[in-house]
Structure 1
Amino acid sequence: MNSDNSKAQELVLASSSRYRRALLQRLGLRFIAASPDVDESPQVDEDISRITQRLAQAKAAALRPRFPQACIIGSDQLCVTTGPSPTLLGKPGTRDAAVQQLQTLSGRTVHFHTAVCVLQQQHVRLASDITQVRFRELTPSEIERYLDAEPEAIHCAGSFMSEALGISLCETISSDDPSALIGLPLIATGRLLREAGYAIP
């Protein structure tokens, strides 16, 4: 831990994801992780970028009663297909739903919207990233083998885990922040935390 942060406000990551924890650890800060209880359903006619920012803030706010003096980080990610009939894809939750999602993504270009919120008392700081991913044409057997190898994919937006075997499913990835696709945009997170008073690096 950076000595300049020895007296900094307690830092909490509002997530149960081990991937988000591993990402935040890269910034060299001491923090604890706790799982928020939030309804992640989109609201009627809600813009994609608004959904992810709202949910990132809601996840952080859900932990405020437990950690009233802490600085809390929330993050959220959704996947949306491009084209004339865009489809919004969140966490599938089941293997059957994951198979359907990957069939939908096969051969298509999609956008992963990832938002981060740094909640410090009443001060809300928000940022977002959009990552474009072009998927290969996926065969049914490829989808099944991928889900056999990556059962945790049912807990990821679009059933896609780029940090693991999922990288083999795509042709190209384009982003301003490669960490965003894994679930936490570190470039933006570092900036927001510096604004909140943390020394990074």
Structure 2
Amino acid sequence: MSNFSNSSQNPPLILASTSVYRRELLERLRIPFDVVAPKVDETPLTGESTLDLAFRLAQAKAAAVAKEHPHAWVIGSDQVADLCGAALGKPGNFERALAQLQLMRGQTVTFHTALCLMRGESQTTLSVPTEVRFRKLADDILESYLLAEEPYDCAGSAKSEGLGISLLESIQSNDPTALIGLPLIALSGLLRDAGFVIPSKT
């Protein structure tokens, strides 16, 4: 559930996500919303590109929740990290996170953050790319970072909103919160088009 009280200004809104990061980002807009966990198989399809995977999962998450809540607007989002065409998932533990950071050392990784806003037959889906250049850092520095922040639930193994920023050489994006998991500039536009008042009147 949202921390914000219900308002008659805005239609019902649901975030289809289990991500605490997306929930915290959406709270920045200070509009009431509920959170419902979508039941979606996130296994990539054979030959599926990283961008197509992000699009498909964002739409699937929104659709899974919208089916049960037809009168609400539903937000689905997914992020896929792309290194030379290969998807980098959530590492889950120290060893896999270190292997990811070693692969990305000195490389540019594209984070595709797809966003879907859906209600009934109405839906809009878009993707915001973020280009991230990783510094060439020694293994002991990477290990120290992982032990300090434990970003094992984060695709790419580095939290730009935390200590992980120290591993990065540059970030290029038109929507700065996209890298954290939810592009709020794009989402604000979609919500206004759907009839939401942002900021809402008190």
TM-score normalised by length of structure 2 = 0.89
* Amino acid of the structure 2 residue aligned with 1:164: G
- Larger displacement relative to structure 2 (169-178 or 88-97): 88-97
Which residue matches 2:165? 167
In the TM superposition, residue 138 of structure 1 has moved relative to its aligned partner by 2.3
Does the 8 A contact of 2:113 with 2:129 survive in 1? yes
Query: For structure 1, which runs of at least 5 residues remain unmatched after alignment?
Result: none
Residue in structure 1 matching 2:185, options 181, 184, 187: 187
| 1:24 equivalent in alignment to 2:22 | no
Indicate if the aligned counterparts of 1:118 and 1:192 stay in contact, CA closer than 8 A: yes
Q: Larger deviation: 30-39 or 167-176?
A: 30-39
Shift of 1:133: 0.7
Give unmatched runs, 5+ long, in structure 2.
none
Identity %: 49
Alignment of 1:44-55 (within 5 A): 44-55=46-57
Where do residues 55-66 of structure 1 align in structure 2 (5 Å cutoff)?
Answer: 55-66=57-68
Tell me which residue corresponds to 1:12.
Answer: 14
Question: Could you tell which deviates more after superposition, 137-146 or 158-167?
Answer: 137-146
Query: After superposition, where does 1:107-122 map in structure 2 within 5 Å?
Result: 107-122=106-121
Q: Distance in 2 between matches of 1:200 and 1:179?
A: 17
Q: CA deviation at 1:7?
A: 4.6
Cross-structure match for 1:134: 133
- Residue 195 of structure 2 corresponds to 197
RMSD of aligned residue pairs (Cα, Å): 1.9
CA distance in 2, matches of 1:200, 1:8: 9
C-alpha contact 2:9 2:196 (8 A) present in aligned 1: no
Contact 1:2-1:28 within 8 A present in 2 as well: no
TM-score by length of 1: 0.90
Task: Kindly tell me the number of residue pairs found equivalent between the two proteins.
Answer: 196
2:176 is paired with a residue whose SS is coil
The amino acid of 1:48's aligned partner reads T
CA distance in 1, matches of 2:101, 2:158: 8
1:16 deviates by: 2.1
SS in 1 for 2:15: strand
Moved over 3 A (4+): none
Structure 1 contact 13–31 (Cα < 8 Å) conserved:
yes
